[in-house]
Structure 1
């Protein structure tokens, strides 16, 4: 049994056929079939049921893949951690909470680094951002800090051996649809929000407030809609009287049918960048960092 055979089993299970798995792994179909035949003989079990519609894992095959997947995940982490400098220049990944400006910067990187084969922009929950950087999947992570979440977040970052630096500060904003009753105000307070329902980004564990990327607690909200996707939240805001909260670092929000309103009497926040301690920054990462600083600074100087 070897790593390549585990990858063959994973690929067949993912794609449902020996032919497609062989194509994805750049193997001949006879070679792939022989690899599975040898593995099944070694284990003394049948891993796949072959049908006219393709291949399906047997119960033993499913159990085998469950165990093999843990090994393959660790191998992937090792390969990512110790891949060559040339390999690092062929792909670039960042993990982030849901921010509009990350896509703007990646768009600029696409033109600057045409030799880079893969860009990955992983918008996700707070804990998954931290895990992604900790496990070397992403070079950087982008999060926010404020007085409410600082202690919990710094404890998490320290435990994951991650370094952080401040990229910029922001004033909390509420975002709503054009024509929303709150747009009659130049600024709003928490009391103004009490009559309206809130849209929030879903987190792994709502018991811990420092995971949240929303700037207003939902305990006093009339109603709450938890959503995992930024596009879904924008769609809900455009069609309802829900409100969301965020940094306000969005240029031309009217193109998304939204209005951003300053939220008074709430602490300022910080946009921070996290990275693995002692990890060397790649050329693409260095350019990303420069563009991120410039973007945040230019936005702050314009408001």
Structure 2
């Protein structure tokens, strides 16, 4: 009896990612009948239907969702194992860092490109808190960059423990308020919560199921409207065209060019900028260099 293999896992994930057997087969450079036969054999072996096949497309069943989740973990571990033990240096020329939306990631990655020209693939994955943790846990990225504070500490430390992740504090950063250049509060050197009371707040919220993981270091105000968005450009546009304000770390490259001013917020909790990694994984040379560049960057910041 034929046993499930890694190739069948790749077939299922490809169909799940591309939405159709045709697109998946094209991506994998195989014939569609071969792909369909491989998945059908797998479904028969497991006695489980992985896809609901309709004229509108192919959709994962509940069992299919669970299968893809587990298969991704297995394939990432196989990829990591191959990279760790192969003698072919080409397989080592890959580096990825995951993080929330921080302006400092791009210039440091560019510096790594110049320092390590033999690397064939460099990746900066910017997404939500949970996705960053998942990316590091599943070996897609060697490093993750997140914000840790009193609101999210308990849940994040629990997630780190579950995924066998370790972290290092890069810097303590204060909460800052950003607003348009001609905002009524723009002339003030520092901002208080009382100053903000009359104005709308724009919140960058992506983890709808876990509000404590929203990428926002400031609690929602007790009064005044709240606007939430999952798109950074939309957030800046709302702030530029209204008297709304947003909150962040204060680390923003050339805010004036984006029509913004940044002011420190008084009497708020401190935030830790952290770097995340696999607890049992020895960092590559490029990861160590990237980490050192991050430490040096924060030494030059006064946030």
TM-score band w.r.t. shorter chain? 0.7 to 0.9
Q: What pairs with 1:74-223 in structure 2 (closer than 5 Å)?
A: 74-85=73-84, 86=89, 89-205=92-208, 209=212, 211-223=213-225
Cα distance in 2 for residues equivalent to 1:144 and 1:64 = 34
Deviation at 1:208? 5.3
Cα gap change, 1:5/1:76 in structure 2, threshold over 3 Å: closer, same or farther? closer
Deviation at 1:64? 8.0
Cα distance in 2 for residues equivalent to 1:206 and 1:69 = 21
8 A contact 1:89–1:282 mirrored in 2 = no
Structure 1 residues 204-262: Cα deviation after superposition (integer angstroms, max 9, x where no partner): 256653x2332221041411122222222222222222111111122321122211011
Report the secondary structure of 1:181's partner residue: coil
Cα distance in 1 for residues equivalent to 2:224 and 2:52 = 52
The answer to whether structure 1 residue 286 and structure 2 residue 285 are counterparts is no
Report the secondary structure of 2:274's partner residue: strand
Deviation at 1:124? 2.2
TM-score norm. by structure 2 comes to 0.80
Q: How many residues align?
A: 291
Deviation at 1:179? 0.9
Deviation at 1:25? 1.9
Cα distance in 1 for residues equivalent to 2:190 and 2:21 = 58
Cα distance in 1 for residues equivalent to 2:70 and 2:289 = 34
Which has the larger displacement, 88-97 or 145-154? 145-154
Cα distance in 2 for residues equivalent to 1:134 and 1:208 = 22
Cα distance in 2 for residues equivalent to 1:215 and 1:271 = 11
Cα distance in 2 for residues equivalent to 1:136 and 1:41 = 29
User: Is there any run of 5+ residues in structure 2 with no aligned partner, and where?
Assistant: none
TM-score norm. by structure 1 comes to 0.80
Structure 2 equivalent of residue 25 of structure 1: 28
Which has the larger displacement, 162-171 or 175-184? 162-171
Deviation at 1:198? 1.0
Which has the larger displacement, 242-251 or 77-86? 77-86
Report the secondary structure of 1:128's partner residue: helix
8 A contact 1:197–1:243 mirrored in 2 = yes
Structure 1 residues 251-293: Cα deviation after superposition (integer angstroms, max 9, x where no partner): 3211222110111122332211111112111122112111111
Over aligned residue pairs, what C-alpha RMSD do you find? 3.3
Structure 2 equivalent of residue 238 of structure 1: 240
User: Is there any run of 5+ residues in structure 1 with no aligned partner, and where?
Assistant: none
